[in-house]
Amino acid sequence: MDENKFRAEFSKKSVFRQASSLDFSYVPDTLYCRDEEIKQLIHNFRRIIEEDMQPTINILITGKGGVGKTVTARYFGKNFRTIAIENKVKIFIEYFNCINFRSKSKIIRELLAKYTHGSGRGFSDDEAIKLILSKLIRDEGYILLIIDEIHLLKPKEVWALLDIAESYGHQNAKLSILLISRTKDWMRIETERILSRLNSKIKLNPYNYEESLKILKYRTEVAFKDGAISEQIIEMISQIVVEHGNMRHGIEILRKCGLYADKEAFDHITADMVREASDQVYPTFRGDIVDQLNDQELFALYGIAQSLRNREEPYTVVDDAYEQYQIICETYDVNPHVKMSFRKYVRQLNDLKIIASKTVRIEEDKRGRHLEITMLDIPPKKLIELLDNIFSKKF
């Protein structure tokens, strides 16, 4: 690539308004669908701001991956500090991910370096903690320590962190801790001693479809320029989020789609981009299950894929898919089954998570409904190629 081509890439228009808003570390200005959890955090930690004898509060946030544990904790921390400053309380928010800090000692030494400008060499963990707490007392400061992926520490290290107030005196422990862990991971390290030092446990459940849609609409408004992504595409990604119970998956799909659109000079995101990105982010297409489908189910799947390809829209409907199903059956001299049977195949494919479907109102007749069908994990073109290969061996 010469300099002119290099410069030309920078002159291309982007679909992004703020691509960084899709980064893992981004904390949104508005956090949707976690109001109750934020309220729990507020009512647990507010005493730090309101009481002269600032207490130590230890809270655990658990839940599956992609349910918003980290963003909830960081959103709370950011806004909690703002309220504290308004009330003339000096609070520092420190975030550590144990993927990068694999021991209690590393966390403590990082804090020591930041607050006392010492390397921590030659000090035991206990001595380092005393230095940090002494500095906080002198400066009338307080630390809210957010520790992510806490299960990567040894149980005795987790307990030692939670036990700081008991070990050094509640009047000296100017420190509270907000732990984050996936539920299953936490269960591996949970002990009675650790539980005795927790003030509260907050469990986050996966987002439902309406919540996913609301969050993704907001995130796309922040991240993308007007017209770059349609509501249908957002609905499609929301369905993927619900299928996997993972919002992070949806955010990453948005990011990958935007980058691909920019690279190929598209001005908007398409359904096929979403399918490609979904497969890259989380390869979920169940090729092993496809190999076990009977002929009619394979033909039904082909009809759906061909219909989606023809429509160039995120969703197709039963009538269109059934028409393509009939065509492929005739191509291979197989008698097509009636539409009622075809609907049964659609339900079976949906249950196997090879396709996704939902019933929606028909705009022209609010009393009517129809079934919308889509593919979340593989572009129709690729699936058709796969099925053509299967059919060439079967017939």
The tens digit of pLDDT for each residue in 227-254 reads 999 999 999 999 999 998 999 999 999 9
Does 251 map to a domain?
Answer: yes
Residue 367: pLDDT over 70: no
305 located within any domain: yes
- pLDDT above 70: percentage of residues in the chain: 97
Element (H, E) at 289: helix 287-290
Contact, 19 vs 26, CB < 8 A? Answer: no
- What pLDDT, on the 0 to 100 scale, is given for residue 47? 95
Per the structure, the complete domain to which residue 309 belongs is given by 287-394
- Domain membership flag for residue 94: yes
Q: Give the Cα separation of 214 and 377 in Å (integer).
A: 22
H or E segment to which residue 92 belongs: strand 90-97
Supply the pTM of this predicted model: 0.81
3-state secondary structure 40-78: HHHHHHHHHHHCCCCCCCEEEEEECCCCCHHHHHHHHHH
Provide, rounded to the nearest whole percent, the portion of the chain with pLDDT above 90.
76
- Short-list 70, 58, 77, 80, CA closest to 25: 70
Q: Give residue 282's pLDDT band: very low, low, confident or very high (50, 70, 90).
A: low
Res. 394 pLDDT band, cuts 50 70 90: confident
Separation CA 301–CA 322 (nearest Å): 10
Residue 324: inside a domain, yes or no?
yes
Listed range (76-85, 161-170, 221-230) with the worst mean pLDDT: 161-170
Instruction: Determine, yes or no, domain membership for 111.
Output: yes
Please list the helix, strand and coil fractions of the chain in percent, rounded to the nearest 5, in that order: 55, 15, 30
Whether residue 43 is found in the same domain as residue 166:
yes
For the chain, what is the largest distance between any 2 Cα atoms, rounded to a whole number of angstroms?
A: 86
Whether residue 2 lies inside any domain: the answer is no
User: What span, in angstroms and rounded, lies between the C-alpha atoms of 45 and 29?
Assistant: 20
Total number of domains in the chain: 3
pLDDT tens-digit series, residues 116-150: 877 667 789 999 999 999 999 999 999 999 999 99
SS3 assignment, position 142: strand
Position 7 in a domain? no
d(CA 36, CA 334): 56
The answer to whether residue 366 scores a pLDDT higher than 60 is no
**Same-domain status, 379 and 337:** yes
Average pLDDT over residues 321-330: 96
pLDDT at 55 over 60: yes
**Cα 163 from Cα 58, distance rounded (Å):** 10
- Output the average pLDDT for the chain: 92
Which of the two residues, 289 and 231, has the higher pLDDT score? 231
Average pLDDT over residues 255-272: 95
Residue where one domain finishes, among candidates 281, 296, 331:
281
Co-location of 87 and 168 in the same domain: yes
Q: Same domain, yes or no, for 70 and 171?
A: yes
pLDDT at 395: 84
CATH of the domain at 266: 1.10.8.60
Q: What is the mean pLDDT of residues 17-33?
A: 95
Specify whether 187 is located in the same domain as 38.
yes
391 by DSSP, 3-state: which?
helix
Domain boundary among 245, 262, 281: 281
Reply yes or no on whether the pLDDT at 38 is more than 70: yes
Residue type, 142: Y
Cα atoms found within 13 Å of the Cα of residue 248, Cβ hemisphere only: 15
Q: What does the pLDDT read at residue 288?
A: 72
pLDDT at 7: 85
Same domain, 123 and 166: yes
Could you give the angle at which helices 231-244 and 271-281 cross, rounded to 10 degrees?
Answer: 20
Query: Which of 289, 291, 321 lies closest to 305 in space, CA to CA?
Result: 321
